[in-house]
């Protein structure tokens, strides 16, 4: 019976895989007392070794693989940690710069104080008016009680009061409209920046500007003879109207016709007339939720469009201003003579003749001369006077460049004529002029312990503001430093903004640079980053010049100068 129970208990597994019945805590006294022959399996030396090492011979390989995996994960985590630290430091640096700019320009606080003062002044004026009205109402009964009026005066006073009441009831509303009141300064509430509101405003702007753009396209198509039949009819009708003195009625009739067509379109009629066929742009459905990268890219696109639009408007306004301010006398002189000729013609010739002349010239210029000039650019550059005048008008940045170039040429001429006895004979004109370059803290070559002929390039005379991140250092004061970056002919110089010893400054030879590349702290952020990583043999980790607003310009300058120096050194070694 016991043997049968034993077979049932250990069915499906080998007996030697379990504990011995005598050692098992679940075994009873009856099972231990019975003599049951048990077969003990023989174990080989190999099996005994496997029993000693339950993991088997593959344990060492697996352990080394796990260690390598942990080491790579640890290195990766350290790298991500370093990137996050650099990102936080750049954020701190930019916040400090923004705080300094806000402290320097406190226009918002001044505007708020001005609004409060205006509100206070309006309240005081209202109080003064109320006091004066109360005094007037209090004095009138007192005057009436001072002396009794005779009956004739009482009747005349009653008649005048009734007349005054009738006049006030009839015309009081119009009199109140002409009463002077202090102007109310209402401050418009500014909406917070929102990606959804930004996209909606862009679509509204496109829809609102669509009629104007279509009108300009149609005028340009008429001038370019896009449709020969339409342009020929328009030219004939216009010239006939001008010849018979119907130019103004023609334009008024066209305006009335356009409004009538718009009325029919608003009533549901399908009317579409255009010289240039309209191309419907596909409208993307608005997204409900935008990611951080998409919001940032949207803001950048809108800022770029606004920048270009404001730049074009500023160029137009500056050219008009410079035309009337005699910035270039030879151009303004032509306008001056033309205005005098128009004034004398309007004084001595009848208006019909003047209008006929101006209308005929405008029609021929719009339909014929502009068509020829657009097809022949060289002819336009020689004989199109309005086009030549407009192209030659300078903007304010162009005037500044011209003045700075003239000053530099004057200084070069003066320095070439003057004699400096202390200058070495080997120095040229440009090297001699570089001796006088200085930063805010002193002469450039004295700050960085360089030779006198080393000076910043023309692109970076004022330097680029940035922060130097040295990841080889452990101290926070040495890990990141704010300052200005310069590029000379042979060196890359970083001047620390904190006052102190020159040890905080950094000078790197361009020849010693092993690698230079644009640096981006986190790959998830949009754009290409705001830093430059420079590797040298003396540093284990690359030096990072971060938080640079003009990063691309600085990178192109450093790279071009580095290529120039290395190519010159290579050619010198070959020779």
* 146: DSSP letter: H
Q: What's the confidence (pLDDT) of residue 365? A: 92
Q: What's the confidence (pLDDT) of residue 547? A: 79
Q: Where are the domains of the chain?
A: 198-270+301-392, 444-570
CA contacts within 13 A on the Cβ side of 180: 2
Q: What's the confidence (pLDDT) of residue 310? A: 87
- For residue 159, how many other CB atoms are within 10 A of its CB? 10
Q: What's the confidence (pLDDT) of residue 166? A: 84
Which DSSP helix (H) or strand (E) runs through 305? helix 292-324
Q: What's the confidence (pLDDT) of residue 24? A: 43
Residues whose CB is less than 8 angstroms from the CB of residue 516 and which lie 6 or more positions away in sequence, other chains included: 532, 533, 534, 535, 555, 558, 559, 562
Architecture of domain 444-570: Roll (2.30)
What is the C-alpha separation between 39 and 416, in angstroms, rounded? 114
What is the C-alpha separation between 428 and 34, in angstroms, rounded? 116
Three-state DSSP at 247 gives helix
Q: What's the confidence (pLDDT) of residue 422? A: 39
What is the C-alpha separation between 255 and 164, in angstroms, rounded? 50
C-alpha closest to that of 514 among 475, 493, 488, 540: 540
What is the C-alpha separation between 291 and 295, in angstroms, rounded? 6
Residue 467 and residue 89 in contact, taking contact as beta carbons nearer than 8 Å: yes
Look at the chain and count its residues: 575
pLDDT per residue, tens digit, the chain (575 aa), is 445 545 544 444 444 444 444 444 444 444 444 444 444 444 444 444 444 444 444 444 555 655 666 678 778 888 888 888 888 888 888 888 888 777 766 767 777 888 888 888 888 888 888 877 776 565 455 555 455 556 666 667 777 788 888 887 888 777 777 777 776 666 667 777 777 777 788 888 888 888 888 888 888 888 889 889 999 999 999 999 999 999 999 999 999 998 998 899 889 888 877 776 665 555 555 556 667 777 777 777 787 888 888 889 999 999 999 999 998 899 999 999 999 999 999 999 998 899 999 999 999 999 999 999 989 989 988 899 999 999 999 998 888 888 877 776 766 665 555 444 434 433 343 434 434 455 555 677 788 888 888 888 888 888 888 888 877 665 555 667 888 999 998 999 998 877 555 567 888 988 888 888 888 766 555 556 678 889 988 888 888 888 787 888 888 889 888 888 888 877 766 65
Name residue, tokens 């006895």: 421
What is the C-alpha separation between 455 and 427, in angstroms, rounded? 13
* 151: DSSP letter: H
Residue 432 and residue 423 in contact, taking contact as beta carbons nearer than 8 Å: yes
Residue 454 and residue 489 in contact, taking contact as beta carbons nearer than 8 Å: yes
């Amino acid at each position: 019976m016991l043997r049968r129970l034993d077979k049932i208990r250990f069915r499906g597994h080998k007996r030697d895989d379990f504990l011995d019945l005598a050692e098992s805590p679940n075994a009873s006294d009856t099972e231990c007392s019975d003599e049951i022959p048990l077969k003990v399996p023989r174990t080989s030396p190999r099996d005994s070794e496997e029993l000693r090492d339950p993991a088997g011979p593959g344990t060492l390989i697996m352990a080394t693989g796990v260690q390598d995996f942990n080491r790579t994960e640890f290195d990766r985590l350290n790298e991500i940690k370093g990137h996050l630290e650099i990102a936080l430091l750049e954020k701190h640096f930019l916040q400090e710069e923004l705080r300094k700019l806000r402290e320097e320009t406190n226009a918002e606080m001044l505007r708020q104080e001005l609004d409060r003062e205006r509100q206070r002044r309006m309240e005081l004026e209202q109080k003064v008016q109320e006091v004066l009205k109360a005094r007037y109402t209090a004095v009138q009964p007192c005057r009436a009680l001072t002396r009794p009026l005779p009956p004739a005066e009482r009747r005349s006073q009653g008649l005048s009061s009734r007349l005054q009441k009738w006049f006030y009831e009839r015309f009081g509303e119009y009199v109140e409209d002409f009463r002077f009141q202090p102007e109310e300064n209402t401050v418009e509430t500014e909406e917070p920046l929102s990606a959804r509101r930004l996209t909606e405003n862009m679509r509204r702007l496109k829809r609102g500007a669509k009629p104007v753009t279509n009108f300009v396209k149609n005028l340009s198509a008429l001038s370019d003879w896009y449709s020969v039949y339409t342009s020929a009819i328009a030219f004939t009708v216009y010239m006939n109207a001008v010849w018979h003195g119907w130019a103004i009625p023609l334009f008024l009739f066209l305006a009335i016709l356009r409004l009538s067509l718009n009325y029919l379109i608003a009533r549901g009629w399908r009317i579409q007339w255009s010289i240039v066929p309209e191309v419907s742009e596909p409208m993307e459905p608005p997204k409900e939720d935008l990611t951080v990268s998409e919001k940032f890219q949207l803001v950048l696109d809108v800022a770029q469009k606004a920048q270009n639009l404001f730049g074009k408007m500023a160029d137009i306004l500056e050219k008009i201003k410079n035309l009337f301010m005699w910035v270039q006398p030879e151009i303004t002189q032509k306008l001056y003579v033309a205005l005098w000729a128009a004034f004398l013609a309007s004084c001595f010739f009848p208006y019909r003749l003047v209008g006929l002349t101006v209308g005929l010239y405008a029609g021929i210029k719009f339909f014929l001369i502009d068509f020829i000039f657009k097809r022949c650019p060289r002819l336009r550059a020689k004989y199109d006077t309005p086009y030549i005048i407009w192209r030659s008008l300078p903007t304010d940045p162009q005037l500044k460049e011209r003045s700075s170039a003239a000053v530099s040429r004057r200084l070069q001429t003066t320095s070439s004529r003057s004699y400096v006895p202390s200058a070495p004979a080997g120095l040229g004109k440009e090297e001699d002029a570089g001796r006088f370059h200085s930063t805010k803290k002193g002469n450039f070559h004295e700050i960085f312990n360089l030779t006198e002929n080393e000076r910043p390039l023309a692109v970076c005379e004022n330097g680029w503001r940035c922060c130097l991140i040295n990841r080889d250092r452990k101290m926070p004061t040495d890990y990141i430093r704010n300052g200005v970056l310069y590029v000379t002919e042979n060196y890359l110089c970083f001047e620390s903004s904190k006052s102190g010893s020159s040890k905080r400054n950094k000078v790197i030879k361009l020849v010693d640079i092993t690698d230079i590349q644009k640096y981006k702290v986190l790959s998830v952020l949009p754009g290409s980053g705001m830093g430059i990583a420079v590797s040298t043999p003396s540093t284990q980790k690359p030096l990072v010049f971060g938080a640079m607003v003009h990063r691309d310009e600085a990178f192109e300058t450093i790279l071009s100068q580095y290529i120039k120096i290395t190519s010159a050194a290579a050619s010198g070694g070959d020779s």
